[in-house]
């Protein structure tokens, strides 16, 4: 893969000419995520639910991986383990060389703050805050200077096409707009890993495609590792470089796709109107 | 998260549920108000009592006596010169006492029983000399009818209320309402009475002067009634143990023969059985007492009694604070309830914040800040409310006092330390109340919280 150049609207994530390693994004072919026989079992009354049951996968830095499977197959549970929101019952989840199970609660919070960006099916914007405040929120936790974070959040939202919506509250926006704001928020602290839990699940197909192209552009232009949970095989085949099929908490198939180069070779129209 | 951000988010969250949070804050305000109102009345009463006692002269007066005096029951226990060598309590001693630092004035105890005639009727009573300074320093004459003596040597008299009733032939019925002092004043002020007394004069037989010999001459003086006081004649205060008061200098110049004045002549250097030494500040009493003792006299004061009074008020304030705090304790339950409700309502929001990288400490801090903000606002409003309640009680009490013909009194006081302590206490109680909800919010499992609808 040719050395990616940062997209215009993401220029605050990296200075021109700055290698991705220096901003925390690893060079391709290094392992970004590795799970070793990871299990997540829940006790539901007397029944033991094996949400994730001995999954071992390796995801290289810069890969776009789709997690597919029926409801209850363990996709979201695996995503939560990689996000550091949950801890495995057994096995290991290693992200950029760090075993997440060994982290304290405080360290896990720092990991989520600096290493991971999350996008959810239901957007999960805080309803009482404006879009600008929502995007600023992770920077508050990261103790970014007040003036800087306002500028960064404003630029970030303007460049996902929400210039006129800065002071709007989430309820005043369409699903696509909310998801774009959610993406701007997920990327604001420059994560190495973007985790998306059914990001198009609540969107119509046109808006869903728009969001997928955004995700794809981040993956292609920034070399950011993307792990996406989805039900939609077609979207996965079109945008992901690899598809992991899960069933009953187990990995049942690991299929590479050959669409990535095709897509990246085509002009990608970023939602802010620039053509890459 | 930085403090500014915690505070900013906390205020934002409080504004989101403004009605519920306002009700909780009002609860805290009522608690703080009851605490402040109770304590402001306790402190006010203490200050009133202190002022009264200080003005009464009990706590800033040292009574000096000669150790030669056989009636001095403490002389055997005191150190210093033996009684026989102790100096005489005369004008020289009086001047020396006046030079002790902190001493305002020194005056003898002039008090005698004599006959007073009014409307040609005789009345036997106790007459006392009052130093002119009592006009400002002795609350016995606060709210009196008429006026204080025009000078320290004027032939004027102030009457005690019961004696005024006696002069007018009024006999109050037991259990009946008190005679109105204003009506008594109208009948007596400006009128004259005649005092008959025995004057002690130097004995002159043509031979060598004998300081122990004197003669007694019967005299009478017309005195103008200028004032009426309703001071209780049976109280323990020096000024009160009489029913007719004269200016001290005037009384001294009369050279009335009295049992407690030891001088045996009408010379210019009389010897007294006791001198009252008035001190500027009650704190200086022990030093002045020591100074007098070092000169070879006996001295005593009742300053110790003020310590007991302070102890009593400390206990009273403690009780008032406990009762006042009960309402605040109830309000603190309201804070717990509000914050626990907020956790339930904002469960998903907490999950989102954790997913975005908020630490347990960030979430805990946020709930603490919300509790603290409610405490701060509730404390500030409560202090204002308590101040207003105290003021209202004071206002009502003064109307009552006025109707009872008492002078107005300040029975309420809100010092700065009470304001600051009440607000601090309110914040501390609120933070303690936020302890459980904050730690519960911090412990929330983000996966569970994100699933919550």
pLDDT over threshold 80, residue B173: no
Q: Are residues B193 and B242 in the same domain?
A: yes
For this complex, say whether ipTM is above 0.85: no
Of B267, B302, B337, the residue that ends a domain is B302
Beta strands B103-108 and B274-279, pairing class: antiparallel
Residue B427 CA to residue A157 CA, distance in Å, equals 39
Helix axes A205-222, A175-187, angle to 10 degrees: 20
Interface residue of B356, B443, B453 to substitute, partner A, most A CBs within 10 Å = B356
Q: How many CB pairs lie under 8 A apart between chains A and B?
A: 67
pLDDT over threshold 50, residue B109: yes
Q: Are residues B47 and B67 in the same domain?
A: no
Average pLDDT, chain B: 81
Domain that holds residue A253: 61-87+104-265
Task: Judge whether A122 lies within some domain.
Answer: yes
Q: Are residues B141 and B288 in the same domain?
A: yes
pTM of the model: 0.65
B307 touches chain A (CB under 8 A): no
Q: Which of residues 330-349 of B touch A (CB under 8 A)?
A: 348-349
Q: Are A85 and B1 an interchain contact pair (Cβ–Cβ within 8 Å)?
A: no
Q: Are residues B265 and B153 in the same domain?
A: yes
**What pLDDT score was predicted for residue A262?**
41
Residues B432-438 have a mean pLDDT of 88
Q: Are residues B71 and B36 in the same domain?
A: no
Task: Judge whether A4 lies within some domain.
Answer: no
Nearest CA in chain A to B6: A140
Residues B233-256 have a mean pLDDT of 75
Cβ neighbours of B359 in A, within 8 Å: 105-106, 109-110, 141
Q: Are residues B136 and B257 in the same domain?
A: yes
**What pLDDT score was predicted for residue B382?**
92
A49 touches chain B (CB under 8 A): no
Task: Judge whether A31 lies within some domain.
Answer: no
Which domain CATH number covers A204?
3.40.50.300
Task: Judge whether A192 lies within some domain.
Answer: yes
Domain that holds residue B262: 60-302
Residues B406-415 have a mean pLDDT of 82
A147 touches chain B (CB under 8 A): no
Residue A19 CA to residue A222 CA, distance in Å, equals 10
Highest mean pLDDT among A74-88, B158-172, B312-326, B333-347 belongs to A74-88
Cβ neighbours of A124 in B, within 8 Å: 348, 352, 355, 450
Q: Are residues B239 and B315 in the same domain?
A: no
Q: Are A140 and B5 an interchain contact pair (Cβ–Cβ within 8 Å)?
A: yes
- Residue-wise pLDDT for A187-230, tens only, equals 888 888 999 999 888 888 888 888 888 888 888 888 889 999 99
Q: Are residues B292 and B406 in the same domain?
A: no
Q: Are B450 and A120 an interchain contact pair (Cβ–Cβ within 8 Å)?
A: yes
Q: How many CA atoms lie within 13 A of B177 on its CB side?
A: 6
Q: Are residues B95 and B226 in the same domain?
A: yes
- Residue-wise pLDDT for A153-192, tens only, equals 998 888 788 888 999 999 999 998 999 999 999 988 888 8
pLDDT over threshold 70, residue A275: no
Residue B265 pLDDT level (bands cut at 50, 70, 90) = very low
Q: Are residues B75 and B43 in the same domain?
A: no
A143 touches chain B (CB under 8 A): yes
Interface residue of A106, A140, A149, A183 to substitute, partner B, most B CBs within 10 Å = A140
DSSP assignment, residue A84? T
**What pLDDT score was predicted for residue B232?**
63
Task: Judge whether A5 lies within some domain.
Answer: no
Interface residue of A81, A141, A146, A153 to substitute, partner B, most B CBs within 10 Å = A141
Task: Judge whether A19 lies within some domain.
Answer: no
Q: Are residues B255 and B314 in the same domain?
A: no
Residues B389-416 have a mean pLDDT of 86
- Residue-wise pLDDT for B175-216, tens only, equals 555 667 888 888 889 999 999 888 877 666 555 555 566 778
Q: Are residues B104 and B51 in the same domain?
A: no
Residue A233 pLDDT level (bands cut at 50, 70, 90) = confident
Cross-chain CB nearest to B358 (options A109, A124, A185): A109
pLDDT over threshold 90, residue A17: no
pLDDT more than 90, % of chain B: 13
Q: Are A112 and B355 an interchain contact pair (Cβ–Cβ within 8 Å)?
A: yes
- Residue-wise pLDDT for A102-129, tens only, equals 899 999 999 999 999 999 888 899 998 9
Q: Which of residues 410-449 of B touch A (CB under 8 A)?
A: 446-447
In angstroms, what separates the C-alpha of B356 from chain A's closest C-alpha?
6
Beta strands B214-229 and B156-160, pairing class: parallel
Highest mean pLDDT among A179-188, B128-137, B294-303 belongs to A179-188
Which pair of tokens denotes residue B360? 């347990």
Cβ neighbours of A194 in B, within 8 Å: none
Our count of domains for chain B comes to 2
Of B302, B325, B345, the residue that ends a domain is B302
- Residue-wise pLDDT for B35-92, tens only, equals 888 888 888 888 887 777 766 666 778 888 887 654 444 544 555 556 666 788 888 8
Residue B16 pLDDT level (bands cut at 50, 70, 90) = confident
Of B286, B302, B318, the residue that ends a domain is B302
- Residue-wise pLDDT for A246-261, tens only, equals 999 999 988 888 654 4
Our count of domains for chain A comes to 1
Task: Judge whether A189 lies within some domain.
Answer: yes
């Amino acid at each position: 893969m040719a050395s990616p150049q940062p997209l215009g609207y993401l220029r605050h994530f990296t200075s021109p000419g700055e290698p991705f390693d220096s901003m925390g994004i690893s060079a391709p072919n290094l392992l970004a995520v590795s799970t070793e026989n990871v299990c997540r079992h829940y006790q539901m009354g007397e029944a033991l639910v094996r949400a994730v049951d001995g999954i071992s996968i390796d995801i290289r830095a810069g890969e776009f991986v789709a997690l597919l499977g029926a409801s209850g197959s363990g996709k979201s549970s695996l995503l939560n383990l990689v996000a550091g929101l949950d801890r495995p019952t057994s096995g290991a989840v290693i992200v950029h060389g760090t075993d997440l199970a060994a982290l304290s609660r405080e360290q896990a919070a720092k990991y989520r703050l600096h290493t991971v960006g999350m996008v959810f099916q239901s957007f999960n914007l805080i309803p009482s805050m404006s879009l600008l405040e929502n995007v600023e929120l992770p920077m508050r936790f990261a103790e970014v200077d007040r003036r800087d974070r306002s500028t960064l959040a404003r630029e970030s939202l303007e460049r996902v096409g929400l210039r006129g919506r800065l002071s709007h509250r989430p309820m005043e926006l369409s699903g696509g707009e909310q998801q774009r704001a959610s993406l701007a928020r997920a990327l604001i602290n420059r994560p190495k890993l973007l985790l998306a839990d059914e990001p198009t699940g609540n969107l119509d197909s046109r808006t869903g495609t728009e969001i997928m192209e955004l995700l794809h552009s981040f993956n292609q232009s920034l070399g950011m590792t993307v792990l996406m949970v989805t039900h939609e095989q077609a979207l996965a085949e079109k945008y992901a470089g690899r598809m992991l099929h899960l069933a009953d908490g187990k990995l049942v198939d690991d299929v590479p796709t050959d669409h990535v180069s095709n897509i990246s070779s085509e002009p990608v129209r970023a939602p802010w109107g620039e053509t890459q | 998260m930085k403090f500014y951000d915690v505070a900013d988010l906390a205020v934002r969250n409080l504004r989101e549920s403004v009605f519920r949070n306002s009700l909780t804050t009002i609860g805290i305000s009522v608690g703080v108000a009851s605490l402040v109102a109770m304590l402001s009345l306790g402190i006010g009463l203490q200050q009133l009592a202190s002022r009264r006692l200080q003005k009464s002269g009990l706590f800033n007066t040292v009574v000096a006596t000669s150790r030669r005096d056989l009636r001095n029951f403490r002389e055997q226990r005191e150190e210093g010169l033996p009684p026989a060598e102790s100096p005489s309590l005369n004008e020289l001693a009086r001047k020396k006492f006046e030079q002790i630092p902190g001493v305002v004035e020194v005056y003898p105890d002039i008090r005698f029983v004599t006959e007073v005639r009014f409307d040609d009727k005789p009345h036997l009573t106790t007459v006392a000399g009052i130093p002119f300074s009592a006009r400002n320093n002795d609350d016995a004459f606060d709210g009196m009818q008429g006026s204080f003596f025009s000078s320290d040597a004027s032939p004027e008299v102030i009457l005690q209320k019961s004696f005024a009733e006696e002069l007018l032939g009024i006999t109050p019925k037991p259990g009946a309402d008190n005679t109105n002092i204003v009506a008594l004043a109208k009948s007596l002020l400006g009128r004259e009475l005649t005092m008959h007394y025995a004057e002690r004069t130097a004995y002159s037989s043509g031979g060598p002067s004998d300081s122990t010999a004197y003669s007694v001459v019967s005299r009478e003086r017309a005195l103008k009634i200028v004032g009426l006081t309703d001071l209780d004649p049976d109280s323990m205060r020096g000024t009160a143990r009489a029913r007719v008061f004269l200016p001290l200098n005037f009384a001294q110049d009369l050279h009335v023969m009295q049992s407690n004045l030891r001088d045996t002549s009408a010379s210019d250097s009389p010897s007294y059985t006791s001198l009252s030494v008035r001190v500027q500040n009650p704190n200086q009493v022990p030093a002045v007492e020591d100074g007098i003792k070092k000169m070879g006299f006996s001295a005593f004061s009742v300053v110790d009694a003020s310590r007991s009074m302070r102890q009593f008020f400390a206990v009273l304030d403690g009780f008032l604070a406990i009762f006042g705090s009960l309402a605040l304790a109830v309000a603190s339950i309201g804070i717990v309830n509000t914050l626990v409700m907020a956790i339930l309502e904002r469960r998903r929001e907490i999950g989102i914040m954790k997913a975005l990288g908020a630490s347990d400490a960030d979430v805990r801090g946020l709930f603490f800040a919300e509790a603290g903000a409610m405490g701060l606002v509730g404390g500030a409003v409560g202090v204002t409310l308590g101040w207003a309640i105290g003021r209202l009680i004071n206002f009502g009490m003064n109307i009552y006092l006025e109707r009872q013909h008492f002078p107005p009194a300040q029975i309420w006081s809100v010092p700065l330390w009470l304001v600051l302590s009440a607000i601090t206490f309110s914040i501390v109680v609120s933070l303690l109340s936020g302890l459980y909800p904050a730690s519960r919010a911090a412990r929330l499992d983000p996966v569970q919280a994100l699933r919550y609808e």
